Structure 1
Amino acid sequence: MSDSPITPSAGRSGLSVGTFGMLGLNIVSVAAGIALWAAVTATGVVGLPTPMAVAGKAFELAANGTLLDDALASLGRVLAGFILGILVAIPVGFLMGWYRVARGIIEPYVQFFRTIPPLAIIPLAIVTMGIEETPKIFVIFLAAFLSSVIATYQGVISVDRTMINAARVLGAGDFTIFRRVVIPASVPYIMVGVRVGLGSSWATVVAAELIAAQSGLGFRMQQAQLYYDLPTIFVSLIAIGVLGLIMDRIVMATDNVLTSWQERL
């Protein structure tokens, strides 16, 4: 009997997991990770706080309102910079991909700033913009923008030319082609850029808060470091991960709606 390739439908029927099944796998995975964490700390070889110590500190910080205040401060900065970055990046990416002249003008600047980590901009932003919210939001904006603009641009130039030519043969003008062909075909790339930009935004805000902030999860970690307060550091790290995960799931749900036409494994 000759071997036959596994088709997408066969892969789904053999390995498909429903929504509740996937949730169950997530819960089992998290529980296993916590159990491993507890086992490692129980040996005393690694100087990490136990899950119970971290949970106790989390309840303490939540009870006095510190955890909520820090989470809201960091979340507000991320949302402001991330949304601004996406709103600017998508039109610029479409402009670069659709018009060669715009590409020639804009691309050198995009590629230049892509080689400079947003974290390296933080000292300059603080010196020029002060230590208030503006520099923090700016560096988050820059991180989200650079990730999303490249993804959008790549989506536009990757559109199948056959579809564009077919639309022209049917009498569609440039605007119709752009609206009905280019934008839908670019959405999967855009959403990948949005997800990458989201991760970059959280990484950037933590770094910004480590340098100059009076509130936020990054600020709380810095303060805890001074007193070797590992449980507080872990609480802040977990809070960042949870908030980032929730936002990522929202982006994924949006992606599923916008690209419902796309076949998935």
Structure 2
Amino acid sequence: MAEKRKRLFYGAVGIFVFLCIWYAATKVTSLGRIMPDPITVFSSFFAAFVKPIGTKSMALHILISLRRMLIPYAIGGVCGVVIGVLMGWYKVADAVFMPYIQMLRPIPPIAWIPLSIIWFGFDESSKYFLIFLACFFTIALTTYNGVHSVDETLVRAARMLGAKDNQLFTTIVLPTTVPYIFSGLQVALGSAWATIVAAEMIRSSEGVGWLIVSGQDVGNMTQIMVGIVAIALTGLLITSIMRGVESKLCAWTVRGK
């Protein structure tokens, strides 16, 4: 507990110092001509929960973006875990899927925007497609690495004792792979939340990404910064929740503590 309190204290001090530097830079340099100070930004951010930006309050913008992110994130997570396990456990699946994953993984989700519009139009499906891509490959590869990290000696010993495939999976493979799965889910969650800005550039009228795009259209730097703050704070919240879940389900590992 003492170590956690120290981390929280140092983190709070670091944020406070950053805000002070930001405030001073906007007041004593020319930065203030193009960027609002943190007091203006955060007061506008909290005011947006009462006074709508566009047609929605800040809470609704955040919830809409979370819904857009979590649905394809869940689908990408399930598909990534299944494909990762298949590739790690079966050599045929590895030979079939791995070339496609290695070929498509380096392509950033934003590069798929033109194709997503052609294939899915301007509705929610195009946004789901982009966020799915941001999640799937990371989760599939980390799950694959988790399956490959299983100690072969344990597998052979279990087979000699008569264990079946389903028993091997539930007693050896799954406990070893779960920390890798959560590691992939953690990284993919950050990637998915970052991709929401690009996804909401596709003809949206609400969401935290739309706050930035619409602020850019009208030259409203305060609204742009409010959108950035919303993305940062919401991202911090959801990743903290994920780490909390991971620490409970993977308490036997060093990671997640």
Same topology, TM > 0.5: yes
User: Residue in 2 aligned with 1:256?
Assistant: 247
Equivalent position SS for 1:101: helix
Alignment of 1:4-15 (within 5 A): none
Q: Which runs of 5+ in 2 are unaligned?
A: none
Moved over 4 A (4+): none
C-alpha deviation, 1:17, in angstroms: 4.1
What TM-score does the superposition give when structure 2 sets the normalisation length?
0.90
2:45 and 2:230 in contact (8 A); partners too? no
Q: Distance in 1 between matches of 2:36 and 2:196?
A: 25
Pick the aligned partner of 1:50 from 32, 37, 44: 37
C-alpha deviation, 1:257, in angstroms: 1.6
What TM-score does the superposition give when structure 1 sets the normalisation length?
0.88
Alignment of 1:74-223 (within 5 A): 74-223=65-214
Q: Which runs of 5+ in 1 are unaligned?
A: 1-15
Alignment of 1:4-83 (within 5 A): 17-46=2-31, 47-65=34-52, 66-83=57-74
Report Cα offsets for 1:17-38 as digits up to 9, x if no partner. Answer: 4333433333222222212211
Report Cα offsets for 1:92-138 as digits up to 9, x if no partner. Answer: 11011000111111112222221322111121111221111111011
C-alpha deviation, 1:193, in angstroms: 0.8
AA paired with 1:94? Answer: V
Deviates more, 1:226-235 or 1:147-156: 226-235
AA paired with 1:107? Answer: M
Q: Compared with structure 1, are the counterparts of its residues 99 and 209 closer, same or farther at alpha carbon in structure 2 (3 Å cutoff)?
A: same
Q: Distance in 1 between matches of 2:219 and 2:201?
A: 15
Equivalent position SS for 1:261: coil
AA paired with 1:223? Answer: S
Report Cα offsets for 1:223-250 as digits up to 9, x if no partner. Answer: 1112221111111111111111111111
AA paired with 1:108? Answer: P
- What is the percentage of aligned positions where both structures have the same residue? 37
- Residue 227 in 1 paired to residue 218 in 2? yes
Equivalent position SS for 1:210: coil
AA paired with 2:51? Answer: N
